[in-house]
């Protein structure tokens, strides 16, 4: 297999999902690095679930590199409520892009997955080879299965066609252009919105789902974008690779950090009748660290930037 590295500043690069948190961070990173030939389409311009539309787009544009950051994403409630939507839409989006990329002989494609691909009770920290060694967390199983299918599709295309497709598994993300929907967002943006609204309304307390005991790892989206750029230049292996900061924090500790950043002065209550999800999710990032990449943005700094972004989005 020929190894291709993203170095030509004039290379034609397609960023699928450029309006999302991850895609927009990758777009900013590429612009910062001097890449100007960036191809993007909004969902109204190109429905990635439509096979023919995606094929026609690739035939017309013929990108050389692809960052596959488009996906239907959400928190526990959304994942558990719209189970059919999550598996169908993600399977269609990624399958259409991967197959169309093969047909126009894209030099290199990066598929972005999620840490939820690992078994619910896998040993911690999560190593790449723990994939498919146990049962998944039930609440987001459809989404996780779709992402696992994407990993395996990239591997299969590499085996059969010699495609240089790599799979990157980020930990829990937050940052600019995050989703702050009251029901469909992930835990960190949901906390930012909840504490801010409680502060604005003068509420005496904020209720958080679960016990607060589960531990999670959080990576700022721009850190992920930096890692993606690094891997597009330096990684060409079949096996997936984790991206994270290598440290985790309990939901309770996180809640108090968000409370402080927002400036909320009330109390925090935990609704223990609600599900906790996976007890712990910490990525083993030793593989990435050995390659020479490490996260740079601290949780405290990232939270401040994320809160400012939320305030701007509200305005």
Mean pLDDT value across residues 36-57: 98
- pLDDT in the model for residue 229: 97
173 marked as binding residue = yes
- Specify if 212 maps to a domain: no
- pLDDT in the model for residue 197: 95
216 marked as binding residue = yes
- Specify if 250 maps to a domain: no
Give 236's pLDDT tier (boundaries 50, 70, 90). very high
Where in the sequence is the domain holding 63, given as residue range(s)?
Answer: 13-173+218-244+282-296
Q: Is the pLDDT of residue 2 over 60?
A: no
Q: Is the pLDDT of residue 308 over 90?
A: yes
Query: Strand pairing partners for 167?
Result: 111
181 marked as binding residue = no
Q: Is the pLDDT of residue 75 over 80?
A: no
Q: Are 13 and 27 in contact (CB under 8 A)?
A: no
Give 58's pLDDT tier (boundaries 50, 70, 90). very high
- pLDDT in the model for residue 78: 79
How many domains, the chain? 1
203 marked as binding residue = no
| 47, burial (CB in 10 Å: exposed 0-12, middle 13-18, buried 19+) | middle
* Choice between 3 and 20, residue whose per-residue pLDDT is larger: 20
- Specify if 182 maps to a domain: no
The residues assigned a catalytic role are 143
- Specify if 50 maps to a domain: yes
Range from 1-10, 31-40, 190-199, 272-281 carrying the lowest mean pLDDT: 1-10
Q: Is the pLDDT of residue 1 over 50?
A: no
CATH number of the domain where residue 154 is located: 3.40.50.720
Q: Both tokens of residue 90? A: 């993600």
Q: What is the pLDDT of residues 167-184, one digit of tens each?
A: 999 999 999 999 888 777
The Cα–Cα gap between 303 and 220 comes to 9
pTM above 0.95, yes or no: no
- Specify if 254 maps to a domain: no
- Specify if 206 maps to a domain: no
Q: Are strands 38-39 and 13-16 parallel, antiparallel or unpaired?
A: parallel
The Cα–Cα gap between 9 and 150 comes to 28
266 marked as binding residue = no
Mean pLDDT, the chain, integer = 94
Q: Read out DSSP for the chain?
A: -----S--TT--EEEETTTSHHHHHHHHHHHHTT---EE---TTT--TT-HHHHHHHHHHH--SEEEE-------HHHHHHSHHHHHHHHHHHHHHHHHHHHHTT-SEEEEE--GGGS-TT--SSB-GGGTTSSPPPGGGHHHHHHHHHHHHHHHHHHHHH---EEEEEE-EEE-TT----TTTS-HHHHHHHHHHHHHHHT-SEEEEES-S--EE-EEEHHHHHHHHHHHHHH---SS-EEE--S--EEHHHHHHHHHHHHT--SEEEEETTS---SSEE-B--HHHHHHT------HHHHHHHHHHHHHHHH-
């Amino acid at each position: 297999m020929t190894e291709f590295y993203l170095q030509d500043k004039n290379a034609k690069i397609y960023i699928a999902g450029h309006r999302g948190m991850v895609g927009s961070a990758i777009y900013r990173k590429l612009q910062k690095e001097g890449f100007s030939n960036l191809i993007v389409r909004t969902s109204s311009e190109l429905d990635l679930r439509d096979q023919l539309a995606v094929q026609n787009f690739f035939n017309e544009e013929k990108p050389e590199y692809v960052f596959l950051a488009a996906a239907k994403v959400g928190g526990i409630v959304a994942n558990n409520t719209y189970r059919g939507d999550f598996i169908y839409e993600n399977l269609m989006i990624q399958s259409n892009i991967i197959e169309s990329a093969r047909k126009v002989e894209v030099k290199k494609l990066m598929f972005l997955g999620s840490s939820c691909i690992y078994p619910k009770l896998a040993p911690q920290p999560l190593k790449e080879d723990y994939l498919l060694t146990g049962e998944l967390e039930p609440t987001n199983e459809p989404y996780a299965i779709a992402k696992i299918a994407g990993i395996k599709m990239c591997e299969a295309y590499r085996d059969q066609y010699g495609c240089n497709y790599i799979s990157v598994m980020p930990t829990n993300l937050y940052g600019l252009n995050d989703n702050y929907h009251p029901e469909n967002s992930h835990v960190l943006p949901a906390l930012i919105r909840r504490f801010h609204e409680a502060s604005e309304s003068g509420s005496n307390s904020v209720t958080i789902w679960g016990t607060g005991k589960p531990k999670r790892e959080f990576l700022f989206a721009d850190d992920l974008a930096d890692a993606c750029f690094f891997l597009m230049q330096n990684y060409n292996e079949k096996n997936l690779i984790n991206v994270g900061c290598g440290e985790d924090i309990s939901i309770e500790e996180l809640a108090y950090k968000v409370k402080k950043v927002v400036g909320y002065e009330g109390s925090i209550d935990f609704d223990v009748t609600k599900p906790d999800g996976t007890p712990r999710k910490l990525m083993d990032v030793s593989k990435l660290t050995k390659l020479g990449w490490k996260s740079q943005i601290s949780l405290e700094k990232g939270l401040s930037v994320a809160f400012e972004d939320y305030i701007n989005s509200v305005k």
